[in-house]
Amino acid sequence: MAKTAQLYRMMTPKHICPFGLKSKDLLERQGYTVEDHKLRSREETDAFKLEYDVKTTPQTFIDRNRIGGYDDLRKFFNMPPAKKEGTTYVPVIAIFLTAFLMAGAFTLNIVGTLASMSLLIWFIGISMCTLAIQKLQDLYAFSNQFITYDLLAMRNIRYAYVYPFAEAFAGIGMLGALPAVIVAPVSLFIGIIGGVSVFKAVYIDKRELKCACVGGNSKVPLGFVSLTENIFMVLGAVMMLLMK
């Protein structure tokens, strides 16, 4: 027998509920024929909520039983929550992996082989630029998180606002092969201070903090993965000086 579900979701000229679309897609992927009831105005939506005594839409009904919203629907199908709570390394892994692939593409295109020091230094440069962009999106939020563990930023709050620009400068300098005497000191300075700060906060003080490496309000835990950002900065600076 064909499986049928009734879906009530908000779809007005000014707003299309994303969770309504996701609920419809999930039901169809589970083999259901969806009776799609679109709530075309705020008045219709409020009337529906009042009739069924619910606080939100979308709402799904299967066999005349109300399942609930999108998260409830996933639970009904024994699926994990769409949004994971707690800390995660996903943002850092995504940045580093994409940066490495970009560096590999540049190296193959320009040098012709991956067996080149350019691969590593371009990888570091792209990573630093990408991480700097994350921080520069919201300097205020970044600074609030950064000053909780960076030793220099604790003493001088303005350093928290300078840091992303310094990181971007060092990354661009590596990619553009700017003079090492200009770029390397900046990368060494922020890399060493950052590395010492993370090491002290995590391994000496044993503090459980969120890392600001991918910007403010990050869910990345402060730890070894965060430390790699600073290690890359120092390594990139040393390579620039050696290549010089």
Residue range 90-129, pLDDT digits in tens: 899 999 999 999 999 999 999 988 888 899 999 999 999 9
Burial tier of 76 (Cβ tally within 10 Å: 0-12, 13-18, 19+): middle
Q: What is the mean pLDDT of residues 201-208?
A: 93
Q: Are 94 and 101 in contact (CB under 8 A)?
A: no
Q: Residue 219: what pLDDT?
A: 87
Number of separate helices (H) and strands (E) present in the chain: 10, 4
From the list 133, 134, 109, the residue with the least C-alpha distance to 122 is 109
User: Is the predicted pLDDT of residue 27 greater than 90, yes or no?
Assistant: yes
Region 220-228: mean pLDDT is: 86
Give pLDDT tens digits for 3-19: 999 999 999 999 999 99
Residue 239 has pLDDT above 70, yes or no: yes
Give residue 174's pLDDT band: very low, low, confident or very high (50, 70, 90): very high
Q: Residue 53 corresponds to which tokens in the numbers above?
A: 């005594």
pLDDT confidence of residue 82: 83
The proportion of the chain whose per-residue pLDDT surpasses 70, expressed as a percent, equals 99
Residue 244: per-residue pLDDT? 65
Higher pLDDT, 34 or 83: 34
Is the bond leading into 58 cis (omega within 30 degrees of zero)?
yes
